[in-house]
Amino acid sequence: MSQQLVVNIGREALTLILMVSGPMLLFGLVVGVVISIFQSVTQINEMTMTFVPKIVSVAVALLLFMPWMINMIVDFTHRMYALIPTLGA
């Protein structure tokens, strides 16, 4: 097992993590910014007002992107299992 292979697997794993978590993080970010702008315009400083919409938006993103996320993770896992026989000493 070469160092380059280990680095490539690690890079691919980190890229997969970013791609899979990206939609949920973006949905939460957009909703958080919109609510923050609304709070600054209306001068309502309620801390709990941001939590429920963020949680709902992340849950919606999870439901929307779940099939794609599962396919990405399963594809990565299949590639890793296919790589096992080539790792012989």
Most confident of 21-30, 48-57, 80-89: 21-30
- Position 18 scores a pLDDT of 96
> Residue 21: pLDDT above 80?
yes
- Position 89 scores a pLDDT of 58
In this prediction, residues 26-42 reach a mean pLDDT of: 92
Distance CA 10, CA 73 (A): 14
In this prediction, residues 53-77 reach a mean pLDDT of: 95
Predicted TM-score (pTM) of this structure: 0.79
